A and B are shown apart, each in its own frame.
Chain A
């Protein structure tokens, strides 16, 4: 579905991605794991066009997208749920969801999707008229993912959804990610530091170290690989 070939991305003079290539097959959960500063988030930002790559190629359903603006990439169905949640604190939960459907105009479909999201996360339904900023960390993460779903994406890019959450909430979030993938056939690209959790729900995995992909395999194989166990699972 999405192919990334020899991607180089820079922040000014800093070379953050050094010839990165990977594939996201349709309908799968693919995870990208790695330490802080490995360039995981940069890979996501490059796909969504917020930090455009300098060299290399990204094709989505056969179309090159690496030179498009973020809103055009979004319109194609690639949605990023940014790191640190970044919900709009002064808008209510419903309004936040409505911002996710910014490019859609079908009122009925939007209402349906909001209902679907409230069934996915009943907590959000309870707090639908509350300001985004007054939600707890876990609820904010739920809202951030839900806001991403509001445009009915083909590909969902999740950046560290477990960041700063209690283990119980991490479980819940990951179970829901699996459910979204299963029910809607949404392809999911999951960037995580919590390698254990991510590899458990993913089909495939990539390991990144200082801007370079060092390992790729099925998630099950990675979970059992000695190198991954030592470096990322702490076993």
Chain B
């Protein structure tokens, strides 16, 4: 009896000891922000020792849960079960067209009714979330499919926004003609950036694109004669709607539908691209450049296409952004934006369309709805990002490409024919 219980006690003791260590470590880490409270009026420091105790007490049980989750992940048991459960659900939904169309219809109705069900504030948030969906899908072409790490994506977004703002300011050009123009200009910038960086990969490419993003921002900030500098451009017109004089609320609803249609268009195009030959060429190029060259794939053109197409979408969203806020300045196009868009792609799941959508919703909506936590909002946000990456390193939704392909020979060939027809 004693011999049996001894190892158990020893293990329990070591677990408790580990948790104690973790709580001590956390108490130490959070000491400066939780305990020391400076009172600037009386020039005194309040030592809030009770908080330290609370932290210790809260972390102690949590560390058990954490270790248990990590262990479960390592053994793969929980993960596998979860995956197969998700897969089964996914397959069931996909296999049963009735359920699939029903779900799609419910989603469509909800999305269409959204601006009428919720307040203008909620609609505004949803518009920016949808804008980030587009940005994420655009960057997904460059990063997820072609495997070119682009840290300066925001530059193309800025090009789109400033195209519309400047064309509107100087020539009174409306939203609709400016939309393709802004996208086109962004695409041109994509090609311009693409040329010098074609030989680079990975880290080097990331640094150059990072520099490009900063250059665009600095030019906009300092070239007063061109971009009005840090004071920005105000009074950009809202989208024209058959000459109707819309109120602010109606404008928001209208903009919501514009963005919604653009998102639908983006999903359609990205989906087609991904299953086309050029999409496969991107994936192939990401995997092996030499093999691609040996297959007669023009490396230059394929990479430039990826850059240009990715930039096009940033240009679209830039125009929408300018139309939404009616005021833009360089402060909206900092590296932080690029980082968020990249996080959307990585967190959501590289190469997966649904993943990017979910990623954008999580990353843009979470900070908004976490406002209840006030100053801890960004802390919770950061923690949830860390958690997602620890437990789902492949992203929230893992690339769906694999699921599609079995027994798809026919459609692949059809695809090839269509490509041939278009080429």
Contact = CB atoms under 8 A, between A and B. Distances in A.
B383 to A, nearest CB: 32
Contact of A87 (B291, B298, B299): B291
B416 A110 contact: yes
B288 interface: yes
B291 A107 contact: no
A99 B281 contact: yes
B296 A105 contact: no
Given A71-B298, A129-B405, A98 B290 contact: no
A50 interface: yes
Contacts of A95: 280, 405, 412
B284 interface: yes
Contact of B283 (A69, A88, A94, A105): A88
B284 A89 contact: no
A22 interface: no
B294 A86 contact: yes
Contacts of B423: 105
A141 interface: no
Contacts of A88: 283-284, 287-288, 291
Interface string A47-82: 011100000000000000000011100110001111
A105 B416 CA distance: 7
A111 B416 CA distance: 11
A128 B296 contact: no
Given A70-B296, A88-B284, A50 B290 contact: yes
Interface string B293-304: 111111100000
Contacts of B280: 91, 95, 98-99
A147 interface: yes
Q: Is the interface of A mostly helix, strand, loop or mixed?
A: mixed
A74 B290 CA distance: 13
A102 B287 contact: no
A107 B298 contact: no
Given A71-B296, A92-B405, A128-B409, A105 B287 contact: no
Nearest to A92: B405
B416 A107 contact: yes
Contacts, number: 91
B420 A105 contact: yes
Among A71, A95, A98, max chain B CB count under 10 A is at A71
A74 B284 contact: no
B241 interface: no
Nearest to B419: A105
A95 B409 CA distance: 9
Interface string B267-295: 00000000001001101100110111111
B203 interface: no
A113 to B, nearest CB: 13
Contacts of B419: 105
Interface in A132-154: 147-148, 151
A74 B284 CA distance: 17
Given A50-B290, A95-B280, A74 B413 contact: no
Q: How large is the interface on B (under 10, 10 to 19, 20 to 34, 35 or more residues)?
A: 20 to 34
B294 A82 contact: yes
B406 interface: yes
A220 interface: no
A82 B290 contact: yes
A188 to B, nearest CB: 15
Contacts of B296: 70-71, 74-75, 79, 102-103, 151
A152 to B, nearest CB: 12
Interface residues of A, number: 37
A49 B291 CA distance: 13
Contacts of B177: none
B409 A74 contact: no
Contacts of A49: 293
Interface string B84-109: 00000000000000000000000000
A226 to B, nearest CB: 37
A107 B413 contact: yes
A86 B406 contact: no
B242 to A, nearest CB: 43
Nearest to A74: B296
A100 interface: yes
Contacts of B409: 94, 128-129
A231 interface: no
A90 B147 CA distance: 13
A213 B366 CA distance: 67
A68 B290 CA distance: 16
A213 B419 CA distance: 45
B243 interface: no
B294 A79 contact: yes
A171 B333 CA distance: 61
Interface in B350-365: none
Contacts of B287: 88-91
Among B281, B284, B287, B294, max chain A CB count under 10 A is at B294
11 contacts: A50-B294, A71-B293, A71-B298, A75-B296, A88-B291, A92-B405, A100-B295, A102-B296, A105-B416, A107-B416, A110-B416
Interface of B: 277, 280-281, 283-284, 287-288, 290-299, 402, 405-407, 409, 412-413, 416-417, 419-420, 423
Given A98-B416, A129-B405, 11 more contacts: A50-B293, A70-B296, A71-B298, A81-B294, A86-B288, A91-B283, A98-B412, A102-B296, A110-B416, A129-B407, A151-B296
Interface of A: 48-50, 69-71, 74-75, 79-82, 86-92, 94-95, 98-100, 102-103, 105-107, 110-111, 128-129, 131, 147-148, 151
Please name the 10 residue pairs, one residue from A and one from B, whose CB atoms are nearest each other, closest first.
A74-B296, A105-B420, A86-B291, A70-B293, A71-B298, A80-B294, A107-B417, A88-B284, A71-B296, A88-B287
